[in-house]
A and B are shown apart, each in its own frame.
Chain A
Amino acid sequence: MNSNDIKPVPTSQVDASCRLPLLALLGGSALWLVLGLLLELTASLQFHAPGIFSCCPWMTYGRVLPAANDLLVYGFAIPTGLGVMLWVVARLGQVELVLPLVSFAGANVWHLGVFLGTLGVLSGHSTGYAWFEYPRVAAALLLPAFMLVAVSAVAAIGQRRIRDLYPSHWFFLASLLWFPWIYSTAFVFLLVWPVRGVAQAVIDWWFASNLIVVWLSLVGLGISFYLLPKYSGRPLEGRFTALFAFVTLLLFGSWLGIPQGAPVPFWLPASSILAGLLFSVPVLVVAMVFFRTVCGAPDGCKGGPFCQVKFGTAAFILSGIWTVVQACPQFAHSTLLTTFDLGRIHWQIFGFFAITVMGAFYELFPRVMASPLPLPRLPRFQHWFFISGALVLAASLAVAGLQQQSADFILAKILPALRASSLGWTLLFIGSLIFALNVFIMTILWAVGIIKTVVGAIKAPLTVAEVKP
């Protein structure tokens, strides 16, 4: 197909075509973000008052924590990532989004799955596998839901007017293939035909690390590689460099996750150590692309989405360095089974991913809805709440982790650091409320607008032509 055969579509029309699926994906995920952070706060409250939920099984730490973590990843991160991805591929292809109803349906099934999963975990039906706690019914819904959205995204990529793939396309295509693969592997080997013994743990680690390190990085970097050149007003520096970052991220990132000292054959943690050290390659290359594209850009960031995407991408580099440092055998040994790794995971989710997609969100949402943000001053505050929250959270968990082993795992000695993480959750929670406020007001205004149009159409006086027989 020659691109000249197709009439170019105005940008506003491209944006408008994404409206329905994006509202479903992002609106739901904003709700899950608020709820997930509320549950994280509930869990961390128990570091201050351990007996507080003694009579309420639904609120006990061991149930609330996985429910909250899953809400943040499955409820917030994945649908938001998918939503932003749909808009970026439509924009890159300069075509209207294909099959919007399919992705709309997918988004709703996804949210239903997250809802059932959260209920399942809170009511004590967790599967017991970290980052894969949703019971079978809910887990079974997520896979087809993802596929529906993925079909829409792949179709949009297929329809693109500019035939050469842009680097963001590689990252998105990979993420669309990656998730079904890792998720179905975990589903089959853990829930349908569970394997015996510690092989379960190995598969769970592999899945969780591929989800949090690889999947989130693929989507987050795909988004930032699209937005950074737009904002900085110069092309992405080095297509080949980006390709190198892409391939090495896939090759080395996918082998991470098996902790050292685990009761498994030694070659498994050893291969993760090697992959962790080699992970420095994609991190360095992304840093190179980032600095070359952004440094000395004619327009600085003035508190807008550019700032957020820039911060998010820089946070990826920090998260990558954290991964590499943690792979060093000596260091890993002194932080084994502590909260140190938890700090890295939350930094990856909030510092890098959430802040990047939020920048993209403030960029796309007013365009997609064809009206300005109802509260345009709030995003700046939200950004600062998220930055400070993510920093406090990651730092407190890291400090607690560094103290833990020398404190002989006696909790009282690391309690101040652990309690400081509650402050991080509080800041993130306030930020999420500010974020959700804009989303919800916008959605309500849109719904009211539609109702008004329909009512107006019904109430409109009949035209002369219709009255005549």
Chain B
Amino acid sequence: MSSKQYEFKSPILPYLLVLPQMVIVFIFFFWPAAQAILQSFYLQDPFGGRMIFVGFQNYAKLFADPDYWQSFSVSAAFAVCITVSAMSIALFLAVQANKKIRMETFYKTMLIWPYAVSTLVSGVIWLFMFNPNVGVIAYVLKHRFGVDWQYLLHFDQAFILLTLAASWKQLAYNFVFFLAGLQSVPETLVEAAAIDGAGSATRFWKIIFPMLSPTTFYLLVMNLVYGFFETFPIVHAITQGAPGKSTGILVYKVWRDGVINLDLGGSAAQSVILMVLVIVLTVFQFRFLERRVTY
């Protein structure tokens, strides 16, 4: 066994070394997670005066609620749309920026820039452009192009706007990783293929794209997680779940029910479901998708 593993002389030292990290993980992850699981079985007064054990009733109520299923499917559709659009556009831009062009650095900088904008601010920027009451672009859409632009009432418009805002924010992140990935594709391989007569499309799909697969896989995971769990500020800024409750994605609903409506048990049950969802998603991705990735 010629492994590079280091043998600790003292049996306690390694545990001591990981202890600080474990303490943090315990306090900020396991403890709240355990609390959430516990609370999800209770109906409770916000001031903590009364706790009534209700078993799985909080869960049963969610699963019997067609609105919850609707929130589920909207969240999934939202995450998939963001992932597809943010990744494909970022890949296209990265390929273009990787070519030898004039003002290459300028383009790269501009494309990376949005990453520095916080998610909430990006939501507000899009709100100010597209809000039917105050938005500049909303005004142009309505008065120049005669579009009945009213995303406060039309679900399709609201969904497209949210997807655009969320993808725009994520684009920069994807761009950085794709660009780095492209730069590590050996020139020689591409040149050899060119000499063998492969056209630029063939070179991209047969050589470059497969070589990018670790990056693509990583981004796929990150984008889905982003789409599912980190788009809360965008929904909060732009639609707040409207029209009706059609854009009330899962993370938004958890916050709304818990923080605004003070339904702690129901909100806790939703977060437990989300927790299970993240675990399943991650396990699934690493088990099934990673096998097809060539490192």
User: Is B truly associated with A?
Assistant: no
Question: Which residues of B line the A interface, CB within 8 A?
Answer: none
Question: Which residues of A line the B interface, CB within 8 A?
Answer: none
